[in-house]
């Protein structure tokens, strides 16, 4: 693990009770709706604890219903919204609060039972919880991975927390990547992730291979991002998997 300086444990109370077995992940403590994270124990890298956020209520009322036109793609609309309303923060608890709202919107229980998705309430909950914590990850504009924690590799982390089999973990991974296959869900993802200051970029490529993803600022060097992730992924994924042993 690399850190820029020593960082204190932070806590946040969220609207939903978190699964207690998140305590299996190094540095995470869960008690009912309160989640606490010790950065020195949780992160593999924690070099730049700062983020860009847009108020979720503003995104909810001013962006989620935005329609694409022949002159403006939804990605352009989202980028302009971030430019107009984004505010920097060094408060990781605020990041978790905002990320939970994004996750609760994208992985809502109304997807349970929809034909073709084969989604259970347990799986949508796992995704809400994991992607909330994933928002603490960070990639710099030059593509360098500066903040990386176990939840980057959420299919592995949720297997530790929930006891998913490898097949179940891949199923959760495929649900996470569902925006590739469904235009409505892709649009939702683009607009909702504006609250976290950018767009979701998947680590996986041609298949669901457990490499997670991160919300990146528009214009980030994707080639360097993928190169660095490919170099480090096996070591980091093995360390996450070992937390369940």
- CB contact set of 121 (below 8 Å; sequence gap of 6+): 109, 112
To 10 degrees, the CA torsion angle through 35, 40, 45, 49? 60
**DSSP letters spanning 86-150:** -EEE--HHHHHHHHHHHHHHHT-GGGTT-TTT---HHHHHHHHHHHHHHTT-EE-TTS-EEEE-G
Partnered with residue 28 across adjacent β-strands are 37
When mean pLDDT is compared across 60-69, 72-81, 84-93, 117-126, the lowest value belongs to 117-126
* Helix (H), strand (E) at residue 17: none
pLDDT reading at 6 higher than 80: no
Q: Is 53 helix (H, G, I), strand (E, B) or coil?
A: strand
Q: Please report the pLDDT score of residue 172 as a whole number.
A: 80
The confidence band for 3, taking pLDDT boundaries of 50, 70 and 90, is very low
Q: What is the pLDDT of residues 162-190, one digit of tens each?
A: 998 877 777 787 777 765 567 888 899 99
Q: What is the pLDDT of residues 206-244, one digit of tens each?
A: 555 567 889 999 999 999 999 999 999 999 999 999 997
As a whole number, the mean pLDDT across the chain is: 90
Contact at 8 Å (CB) between 139 and 94? no
How far is the CA of 162 from the CAs of 8, 19, 23, in angstroms? 27, 8, 11
Altogether, the residues listed in the chain come to a count of 245
What does pTM read for this prediction? 0.93
Rounded-to-integer distance, Cα 45 and Cα 239, Å: 13
What is the average pLDDT across 194-202? 95
Contact at 8 Å (CB) between 50 and 88? yes
Phi, psi at residue 68, to the nearest 5°?
-75, 145
Rounded-to-integer distance, Cα 215 and Cα 61, Å: 21
pLDDT reading at 76 higher than 90: yes
Q: Please report the pLDDT score of residue 179 as a whole number.
A: 54
Taking residue 115's Cβ as centre, other Cβ atoms within 10 Å add up to 5
Q: Please report the pLDDT score of residue 204 as a whole number.
A: 62
pLDDT reading at 34 higher than 90: yes
- CB contact set of 154 (below 8 Å; sequence gap of 6+): 127, 130, 131, 134, 172, 173, 176, 212
Phi, psi at residue 231, to the nearest 5°?
-70, -35
Partnered with residue 36 across adjacent β-strands are 11, 29
The confidence band for 29, taking pLDDT boundaries of 50, 70 and 90, is very high
The confidence band for 4, taking pLDDT boundaries of 50, 70 and 90, is very low
Q: Please report the pLDDT score of residue 2 as a whole number.
A: 39
Taking residue 85's Cβ as centre, other Cβ atoms within 10 Å add up to 17
Q: Please report the pLDDT score of residue 209 as a whole number.
A: 59
When mean pLDDT is compared across 23-27, 42-46, 104-108, 168-172, the lowest value belongs to 168-172
């Amino acid at each position: 693990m690399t850190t820029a300086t020593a960082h204190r444990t932070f806590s946040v109370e969220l609207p939903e009770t978190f699964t207690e077995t998140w305590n299996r992940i190094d540095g995470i403590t869960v008690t009912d709706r309160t989640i606490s994270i010790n950065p020195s124990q949780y992160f593999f890298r924690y070099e730049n604890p700062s983020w860009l956020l847009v108020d979720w209520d503003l995104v909810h009322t001013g962006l989620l219903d935005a329609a694409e036109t022949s002159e403006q793609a939804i990605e352009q609309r989202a980028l302009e919204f971030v430019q107009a309303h984004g505010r920097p923060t060094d408060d990781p608890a605020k990041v978790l609060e905002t990320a939970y709202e994004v996750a609760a919107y994208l992985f809502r229980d109304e997807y349970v039972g929809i034909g073709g998705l084969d989604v259970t309430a347990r799986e949508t909950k796992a995704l809400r919880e994991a992607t909330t914590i994933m928002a603490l990850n960070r990639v710099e504009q030059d593509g360098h991975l500066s903040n990386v924690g176990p939840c980057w590799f959420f299919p592995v982390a949720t297997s530790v927390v929930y006891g998913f089999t490898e097949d179940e973990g891949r199923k959760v991974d495929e649900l996470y990547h569902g925006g590739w296959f469904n235009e409505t869900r892709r649009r939702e993802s683009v607009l909702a992730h504006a609250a976290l200051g950018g767009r979701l970029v998947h680590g996986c490529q041609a298949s669901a291979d457990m490499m997670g993803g991160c919300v990146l600022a528009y214009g980030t060097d994707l080639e360097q991002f993928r190169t660095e992730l490919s170099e480090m992924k096996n070591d980091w994924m093995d360390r996450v998997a070992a937390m369940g042993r």
